[in-house]
Amino acid sequence: MSAFIVLIAAALSRFFALHAHSWNFTALGGGLLFFGSRMRSSLGTASHQKARIAARLATALALLIATDYCLTVYAYQYPFHPAAYLVTWLWYAAVCLIGMGLLNKASVLRCAAATLASATSFFLLSNFAVWAGGGMYPHTLAGLGASLVAGLPFYRNDLASTALTLGALFGLPALARRVAHTMHSAQPDHLA
């Protein structure tokens, strides 16, 4: 249940990132990775587990597709063309699967790798899609380079926000457990 709350908060953070100075500084990458890390269940048969994972992934995608629609139509006031979002929707699913694979046993190294994989893959995919599918940049190597350079501020913010979100979601509970263990160990034997 907490994974769904995190995912909803991550989706809503996209609405707060509409200001020019917060380009792509959202909790989305970290929220998707955390959600993915919680998709696996140890209950039931293997086919039951696969069905639960598929249902959770479909629910997450439905939420994010609805968010994309609302942002496109109401915030940006553009027409909504689902075909333009297919790469993004596949990326959402892929990041959840990265979280499921890398973060089911979270560590600092795994969180760093997941953060880098998430932010870098979105940077490359989204800028390539803008270059290949639009008319903003010439369809040359120089045009692709210009598209990538223009996306660097978004990449930097996505990398930072994903690291911050994952650090909070995995680091704070670990810190709380460590503090509780230290406090419990420090109690005199007659109080423990």
* Residues 6 or more apart whose Cβ sits within 8 Å of residue 62: none
pLDDT digits (tens, 9 = 90+) for 36-45: 999 886 677 8
Average pLDDT for the chain: 89
Can you tell me the distance from the alpha carbon of 100 to that of 36, in angstroms, rounded to the nearest whole number?
Answer: 4
pLDDT for 175 equals: 80
pLDDT digits (tens, 9 = 90+) for 89-102: 999 999 999 999 88
CA torsion through residues 50, 51, 57, 61, sign: positive
Can you tell me the distance from the alpha carbon of 164 to that of 60, in angstroms, rounded to the nearest whole number?
Answer: 21
pLDDT(20) > 60: no
pLDDT for 21 equals: 59
pLDDT range class, residue 18, cuts 50, 70, 90: low
Average pLDDT over residues 118-122: 96
DSSP state at residue 1: -
Query: What's the pTM?
Result: 0.88
pLDDT for 45 equals: 83
Can you tell me the distance from the alpha carbon of 98 to that of 113, in angstroms, rounded to the nearest whole number?
Answer: 10
pLDDT digits (tens, 9 = 90+) for 128-146: 999 998 889 999 999 999 9
pLDDT for 83 equals: 92
pLDDT for 189 equals: 63
pLDDT digits (tens, 9 = 90+) for 147-182: 999 999 999 999 999 999 999 998 888 788 888 878
